[in-house]
Amino acid sequence: MKNHPEELTDLVTDLPRFEQALTELAGLVGLELTGLTADHISVRCHQVATAERWKRGLSQLGTLFSENQINGRPICLFALRQPLQVGPWAIDVIELPWPGNKLYRHEGWEHVEIVLRGEPETLGARAMALLSDEGLLRPGISFKTSSPKGDKERLPNPTLAVTNGVVTIKFHPWTLKEIVASEAA
């Protein structure tokens, strides 16, 4: 985020921490990040004022292409004009959820989402096959499945999330742009 808006200074400062934590988590669970497709990166915040400030900043770096209610809270999706370099990826979509009921340990970058093409029903098995059994059994590592759904989404969008409580790696069968396009169909 070269020449970033002032509203995003905290996110720019937080990116190296996130990248290091992401690399550490991937190493712990035996996940090789190179060769995987990262669709987007997401932030978390505790205050509506922070979400609004980040929205103003992200609006200066890209286009808001979706603002939808998911699981009872607004989530904004931005397509960046210049991709953000995160680990081995150039990511051009940022997800900005408004605060919900859950308080996160950290305000800033929280997860990256990987697209695993294939049948939605087999997403969990395909994602788990990329992870080492030893890594998943480590203390502090947890995983869960879910199916977040926007009000108008037509594509099944299962998720497998792996976390160490600091950062999360999520797997989906579709990109966010495909999910948003399904809403208009």
Domain coordinates of the chain in residue numbers? 6-184
Question: Which position has the higher pLDDT, 104 or 71?
Answer: 71
91: nearest Cα among 156, 133, 40, 43? 40
Span 97-125, mean pLDDT? Answer: 89
Q: Supply the DSSP symbol for 155.
A: S
pLDDT of residue 183: 75
pLDDT of residue 21: 96
| Mean pLDDT score across all residues of the chain | 90
What CA–CA distance (Å, rounded) separates 154 from 143? 25
Buried b (16+ CB within 10 A) or exposed e, 82-108: eebebbebebbbbbbbbbeeeebebbb
Q: Is the pLDDT reported for residue 144 higher than 80? A: yes
Span 161-173, mean pLDDT? Answer: 95
Q: Is the pLDDT reported for residue 10 higher than 90? A: yes
What CA–CA distance (Å, rounded) separates 77 from 58? 9
Which amino acid, one-letter code, is at 28? L
pLDDT of residue 117: 94
pLDDT of residue 18: 97
Which amino acid, one-letter code, is at 44? R
Q: Is the pLDDT reported for residue 154 higher than 80? A: no
DSSP β-ladder status, 62-70 and 73-86:
antiparallel
Which amino acid, one-letter code, is at 178? E
CA distances from 107 to 40, 94, 131, 136, 144 (A): 17, 15, 27, 25, 22
Over residues 37-87, the pLDDT tens digits come to 999 999 999 899 999 999 999 999 999 999 988 778 899 999 999 999 999
82: nearest Cα among 71, 98, 93, 73? 93
Q: For domain 6-184, is the CATH number 3.40.640.10?
A: no
What CA–CA distance (Å, rounded) separates 73 from 126? 29
Q: Is the pLDDT reported for residue 19 higher than 90? A: yes
Question: Which position has the higher pLDDT, 3 or 114?
Answer: 114
Q: Is the pLDDT reported for residue 152 higher than 70? A: no
Q: Is the pLDDT reported for residue 29 higher than 90? A: yes
pLDDT of residue 146: 81
The pLDDT > 70 percentage for the chain reads 93
What CA–CA distance (Å, rounded) separates 38 from 183? 22
Confidence of residue 148 (pLDDT cuts 50, 70, 90): low
